[in-house]
Amino acid sequence: MSEPRDPSDTPDPSDAFDDIVDNETTRDPDLAVIEAGSRTLRTQGGPPQGDPVPGRPEDPELDKALREVETELSTRWGETKLEPSVTRIAALMDVLGEPQRAYPSIHITGTNGKTSTARMIEALLGAFELRTGRYTSPHVQTITERISLDGAPISAERFVETYEDIKPYVELVDAREEYRLSFFEVLTGMAYAAFADAPVDVAVVEVGMGGTWDATNVIDGSVAVVTPIDLDHTDRLGGTTAEIAGEKSGIIKRGATVVLAQQPVDAAQVLLKKAVGEDATVAREGMEFGIVSREVAVGGQLLTLRGLGGEYDTVFLPLHGAYQAHNAAVALAAVEAFFGIGAEHARTLDVDTVRRAFAQVASPGRLEIVRSSPTVILDAAHNPHGARATAEGVSEAFGFSRLIGVVSTSGDKDARGLLEAFEPIFAEVVVTANSNPRATDVDTLAAVAVEVFGEDRVVGSSASVQRVSPLVAPTDTSPLPATFA
């Protein structure tokens, strides 16, 4: 590893961008026909504050009030039970006076990288002195993390107040509709109301699942961002990346700017067809923007990014993994598009401001180092695509000689695919169950792990595992990454 270097020491990467198309994309000749009908972005010429993962309120009365709200929300459909429509959330927005129309929005969908990209977009917008609202899911520790203002989760007090403010309107819609508003729909209504009340200059909104019928999809995002699409939630979104892209393309609105991360060819075809139909402007990673150079640095990585308006060199990103560099390129292009760079303005954003913003980005639960001696890393990879990116990031950024994985998955996830992604880097795997009621049964997960790793490398409880050995406290060269999916 090396320390982030002075710009004068960095090689001139200007010629490298010419290779991005060849190196970063797999093109299909048929895409040229699709793209001919769509305009493309071709340039002619306050950082987050506060604790990103707050704990419970210290005030007992406030903590009690927050728990009461959480209890009431828990009586509603959970996030895994869906009725694919925006009918109820649209009705709630109507009785609330359409709060989501009070500010412009950047809407983000995709399979992996949505939350990290949202945090980067938020940091960039804040650095340019815009007041931001960010809505992401799920939360790492407390429910208040899902709704952020000015780069920090709203306070427990404000969360409770927002719920109480919209509760009568929620009950009104509940009484009118065939089904009550779900947990996620109520939270979405709370977020949009909180943003309007703040008020924010721009909202950064991550979809919960899919796009077309996702509860967040009652906004008209002037910028639609699609992070990499892969297989996940196939029972609801479709069994191919093309089918999944069809659902996710629903966030592309008339005349919007669409920022596309690298995509499988079939997914790209679907997204570009949707953009053509909506007369949307398209910016594609590997074409209109991308990564010019990247190198591992102490505490993260040093990047040169090609934006819609030009190059941004010596950008330090305090996050690990090549996938985070790609997220940074997408986030930068989205913010440039929001400011009209590449369409109305042929210039770059202020590079020093961009550097400051990226240098302060945090993404809890994404290759997050939570302690040392022994080193413990947390990562929320929950599908094979995300797990492969995590495994590559660990191998690149850390010089571990022996790695022990602690893994729990949700019952609806591809546990085998996830374990297969980690098999090359885990010396042993400890299978367990997290506190989520959807967690996979330990015996079931252990049986799969034995098939992937072999009996001698699995620690857990299963009829297939003949030993249940205690985990010996690892040394500095035997770190313990905890991966919960």
Count of C-beta atoms within a 10 Å radius of residue 373: 9
pLDDT for residue 26 is more than 80: no
What rounded mean pLDDT belongs to the chain?
84
Residue 323, pLDDT score = 92
pLDDT for residue 275 is more than 80: yes
pLDDT for residue 466 is more than 70: no
Q: Quick one: pLDDT band at residue 238, thresholds 50, 70, 90?
A: low
> pLDDT tens, 333-352?
999 999 999 766 678 999 99
Q: Which contiguous run of DSSP H or E holds residue 115?
A: helix 114-127
The answer to whether 262 and 24 are in contact (CB under 8 A) is: yes
Of 182, 232, 174, the C-alpha closest to 79 is 182
Of 191, 190, 182, the C-alpha closest to 209 is 182
Q: Look at 115-129, 171-185, 219-233 and tell me which has the smallest mean pLDDT.
A: 219-233
> pLDDT tens, 323-336?
999 999 999 999 99
Tokens for 261, please give them. Answer: 């991360």
> Angle of helix 415-422 relative to helix 384-397, nearest 10 degrees?
20
Q: Look at 173-177, 289-293, 394-398 and tell me which has the smallest mean pLDDT.
A: 394-398
Q: Regarding predicted confidence, which is higher, 267 or 435?
A: 267
Residue 343, pLDDT score = 66
In angstroms, the CA 354 to CA 229 distance is 27
Tokens for 45, please give them. Answer: 């010429």
- Local structure of residue 348 (DSSP, 8 states): P
Residue 37, pLDDT score = 39
Of 127, 42, 153, the C-alpha closest to 352 is 127
- Local structure of residue 423 (DSSP, 8 states): T
> pLDDT tens, 186-237?
999 999 999 999 999 999 999 998 889 999 999 999 999 999 998 766 556 6
The alpha carbon dihedral of 71, 170, 62, 439 has a sign of positive
In angstroms, the CA 86 to CA 90 distance is 6
Residue 44, pLDDT score = 32
Cβ-count burial of 60 within 10 angstroms (0-12 exposed, 13-18 middle, 19+ buried)?
A: exposed
> pLDDT tens, 392-415?
889 888 888 899 999 998 887 889
Peptide bond into 57 cis (omega under 30): no
Determine phi and psi for 455, rounding to 5 degrees. -60, -40
The answer to whether 228 and 389 are in contact (CB under 8 A) is: no
Tokens for 285, please give them. Answer: 């990673």
In angstroms, the CA 231 to CA 341 distance is 33
Residue 233, pLDDT score = 61
In angstroms, the CA 87 to CA 473 distance is 52
Tokens for 373, please give them. Answer: 């001696």
